[in-house]
Amino acid sequence: MDMTELRLGGVVVAMVTPFQEDESLDIGAIEAYADRLASEDGVTGLLACGYSGELQSLSEEEHVAVVRAVAEGNAGRLPIIAGLFPTSTRHTIAVGERLRDAGADVLQINSPFYNQLRRGYFAEESIGVQFFTDLADALDMPMSVFQYSDGSGLRWPVSTIARLAEIPQVIAIKEAGQMETYAADYEAVQGRVGLFADNNTYSLLGMLQYGTAGTMIGLGQVCLPLWLELYELTSTGRFTEAVAHTNEKLVPLINIFTAELGTSTYSALGRIKEALVQLQRIPGNTVRRPEPAVTEAEKALIARVLRSVGALD
């Protein structure tokens, strides 16, 4: 695949990372899942090792192994975006090189200021811009900037987002905010880089109607055809149908998987994996502790909801 003119757009699937029961990587299942997703008509890219891929639980060696397995299963059909949690600029470059060699086409760069003691750096625009400029100079490969949710304390100011969009290697922004902040970022980068709607709530519908390069959400892999249909409806301006489709088919999924994301006592990732098991997409629902395992009651709830939206008989 020629990546010199890579442009991301459409429905990018933020993949889970299948584990075996002992919490080790299930490489065969990762390859098979990537193969299945890459064969799905309408899917335009694969995001490996994002939040849905449990990147925070992976060692560096596992991180590289997952991207390599996704690349093997994908077999060059779709762009592969690899999530990356930065520590230092030096380490980010070193890991980025390994991910590129493993098969990543794009790096999704999370905030380098995740540590509480670095949060003040967001106020100094030049620090963030220099960080991404250094990555661009050293790696010279496409990058996506992760824009955290409102209230996280990790959002780039809109003025910084506008400047990051000027870096040639930055080709996308993965936007996890709410409607107001999404709109501000959209106006700041419109026509320069693609803004991807990353919201696992009803706000996603408004983002798609406002304008977007595509979607990149973890819940989108559960009943994938339903999310592909939503994108088709909104991208062709059929908004009344999109609202009806969302209310009937997607709200039931949102309500049991992600409506309480960040405040729930259950594992949204575990529930997503269990749904994929019931849909025969992956073999197991194991998440890495301290993520809580899915209970029998949750399994029954997931089955009822999947049946209600027509995904199970």
The mean predicted confidence, pLDDT, of the chain is: 96
Q: Catalogue all structural domains in the chain, each as residue range(s) with its CATH number.
A: 10-238 (3.20.20.70)
Please check whether residue 42 is in contact with residue 13, taking contact to mean a CB–CB distance below 8 angstroms.
no
Closest C-alpha to 12, from 47, 40, 36 = 47
Average pLDDT over residues 56-85: 98
Q: Cα–Cα distance between 19 and 133 in angstroms, integer? A: 35
- Token pair 């709410």: residue: 178
Higher pLDDT, 23 or 259: 23
Give the DSSP letter of residue 239.
Answer: H
The mean pLDDT value for 34-56 works out to 98
Residue 151's pLDDT is: 87
Mention every residue, 6+ apart, whose C-beta is less than 8 A from residue 309: 223, 226, 248, 249, 250, 252, 253
**Reported confidence tier of residue 179, pLDDT bands at 50, 70, 90:** very high
Q: Structure pTM? A: 0.96
In this predicted structure, what is the pLDDT of residue 118? 94
Mean pLDDT on 12-25: 98
Residue 209, pLDDT above cutoff 50: yes
The predicted-structure confidence for 126-171, as pLDDT tens digits, reads as follows 999 999 999 999 999 999 999 999 889 999 999 999 999 999 999 9
Q: What is the pLDDT of residue 141?
A: 97
Q: What is the mean pLDDT of residues 75-95?
A: 97
Task: Return the CA Rg of the chain.
Answer: 18
Output the pLDDT for position 3.
43
Tens digit of pLDDT for each residue in 214-256? 999 999 999 999 999 999 999 999 999 999 999 999 999 999 9
Looking at residue 4, its pLDDT comes to 47
pLDDT tier for residue 52 given thresholds of 50, 70 and 90: very high
Res 6: pLDDT: 84
pLDDT of residue 5: 72
Per-residue pLDDT of 266-312, as tens digits, reads: 999 999 999 999 999 999 999 999 999 999 999 999 999 999 999 99
Q: How far apart are CA 224 and CA 269, in angstroms?
A: 16
How far apart CA 12 and CA 217 sit, in angstroms, is 8
pLDDT at 7 over 90: no
**So what's the pLDDT on residue 67?**
98
